[in-house]
Amino acid sequence: MPKPVLAELLRFIAANEDLPRSLARYHGYDRDTLGKLISAAADRVEEAEKAREPAPGAGSKGIKVRKQSDVEKAAQRAAEEIDEAMELSKAERDRRRRDRAAAEERDRHAVQAAQEAEAAKRTRLYTDGAARGNPGPAGAGAVILSPEGHIVAKIGKFLGDSTNNVAEYMGLILGLKRAKAMGIKELDVFSDSELLVKQLAGEYQVKADHLRPLHDEARALLQGFSTIQVRHIPREENAAADAMSNRAIDERL
């Protein structure tokens, strides 16, 4: 059986071999892509072989016997062309990946800017609660700001002896009731109580029996607004509502 020429070998590999080691080395390429690259190399090798064939009618003396070194050189060139093609493809793939990442980042910034612009049109409600002793003397507080950042309402209420969590819920409820009474339809709510925010979002369960009625009342009030968001903020960003809850305790509001 005659030994197949290199081009035939390459086409056989391109059509039939799984090429697991090549796929492992060149990450990001699938089997079909590697097969196409090897087939392209086979075309180059075949062109080189045809260029070395004698012209028709030259006779047997004109036949050139291809040495093994020629075959090895052709194989080496084919391998180099495959590597170059892969590197170029990888560079192009990396460039496109960077372009996509940059486009996604721009989209995220645009969405964030749009959300911030929309939020800037809404009234803001800051709520808080305090209990000295937990349980102990407790107060609830809330502050409402206009979209321009002006304080339009301050609410404080002394709760007697209670817990901090109850005071937090009462601050929210007082603030929501006042906002509803003022005819506000769109509202952003801010609280430094992670428990309260995550319970309202359904991320935390309400395990304490005495908090369930307050949770249900707060959820019902939230549904009365056309647009509303409840967000957790650091304690230092909630100073005004904290001051109202402590004032409620000090002055027995």
What band does 63 get if pLDDT is binned at 50, 70 and 90? very low
Helix, strand or coil for residue 67? coil
Write out pLDDT tens, residues 68-118. Answer: 555 566 666 666 656 555 565 667 767 877 888 888 889 888 888 877 777
Scanning the structure block, which residue is given the tokens 């102990």?
136
Specify the amino acid at residue 105.
E
Q: Within 13 Å and on the Cβ side, how many CA atoms surround 153?
A: 23
Main-chain dihedrals φ then ψ at residue 229, nearest 5 degrees = -135, 140
In angstroms, the CA 57 to CA 242 distance is 102
Residue 58 is predicted with a pLDDT of 46
pLDDT value, residue 223: 96
Q: pLDDT tens, 195-247? A: 999 999 999 999 999 999 999 999 999 999 999 999 999 999 999 999 999 99
Helical spans, DSSP H, in 120-163? none
CA distances from residue 229 to 1, 18, 163, 219 in whole angstroms, order as listed: 79, 54, 25, 12
- pLDDT value, residue 62: 40
CB 181 within 8 A of CB 168: no
The 10s digit of each residue's pLDDT in 118-174 is 767 799 999 999 999 989 999 999 999 999 899 999 999 999 999 999 999 999 999
Q: What pLDDT was estimated at residue 31?
A: 86
Structure tokens at 122: 């809404």
* Distance separating alpha carbons of residues 148 and 167, to the nearest angstrom: 28
Domains of the chain plus CATH, in order, are: 6-113 (no CATH), 123-251 (3.30.420.10)
Cα→Cα distances 44→33, 36, 38, 39, 74, Å: 17, 13, 10, 9, 9
Q: What is the mean pLDDT of residues 176-184?
A: 96
Name 161's bridge partners.
137
